[in-house]
Chains A and B, each alone.
Chain A
Amino acid sequence: GAGVSQTPSNKVTEKGKYVELRCDPISGHTALYWYRQSLGQGPEFLIYFQGTGAADDSGLPNDRFFAVRPEGSVSTLKIQRTERGDSAVYLCASSATPTDTQYFGPGTRLTVL
């Protein structure tokens, strides 16, 4: 079946702009995760959804970052007033339940000029 998909695959924006990154999890997966990976580093956790609610948002770096999952399926990561330091690959993962294996999408490469 289809895996986790993320759009766009690449996003280039200017400092100060607003961006939205989309994640389509595997159908039926209740748990959804966002991670951020900077060059040469491992992914860093941002936020975890169980259904529609954010069960753990301890990884969001500041209040410019926000994520939603209004219907318990697709999720959108929103970044306001982007900064050059936000440039990274943003990875989404989903799992059937919180205790199951996490399946990762291909990521969105965000470049802030």
Chain B
Amino acid sequence: KQEVTQIPAALSVPEGENLVLNCSFTDSAIYNLQWFRQDPGKGLTSLLLIQSSQREQTSGRLNASLDKSSGRSTLYIAASQPGDSATYLCAVRTSGTYKYIFGTGTRLKVLA
């Protein structure tokens, strides 16, 4: 059974810092992995989707890496801004399924 863990649960950093959010999963037979952002009381916004054959994806100040063999993904946020404050969720789709298994998220606060 796939399980997804995110560390840390919460993070508070000053504006301008580079930061890394971690995601680990127990079953390495994945189809893809997706990072989402969730603002309070809102739905999920997809940030980056990494297919199982890829090692990393980049979008603007965001970079996500994937290491299937070790069951890990990281989301790197460069030059953080107060507008980055949100909960970041990692979701894994195991091969042979169509559903995502989510971690519990990292709650990020960037201080101005």
Contact = CB atoms under 8 A, between A and B. Distances in A.
B42 A44 contact: no
Contacts of B104: 40-42
A102 B47 CA distance: 11
Interface size class of B (residues with CB under 8 A): 20 to 34
Nearest to B97: A56
B102 interface: yes
Interface size class of A (residues with CB under 8 A): 20 to 34
A60 B32 CA distance: 23
Contacts of A103: 46
B99 A42 contact: no
A45 B43 contact: no
Interface string A70-112: 0000000000000000000001010000110111111101000
A102 B100 contact: yes
A89 to B, nearest CB: 9
A76 to B, nearest CB: 18
Contacts of B46: 101-104
B44 A91 contact: yes
Interface of A: 4, 31, 33, 35, 40-45, 48, 50, 55-56, 59, 91, 93, 98-99, 101-107, 109
7 contacts: A42-B102, A42-B105, A91-B44, A93-B44, A103-B46, A105-B43, A107-B43
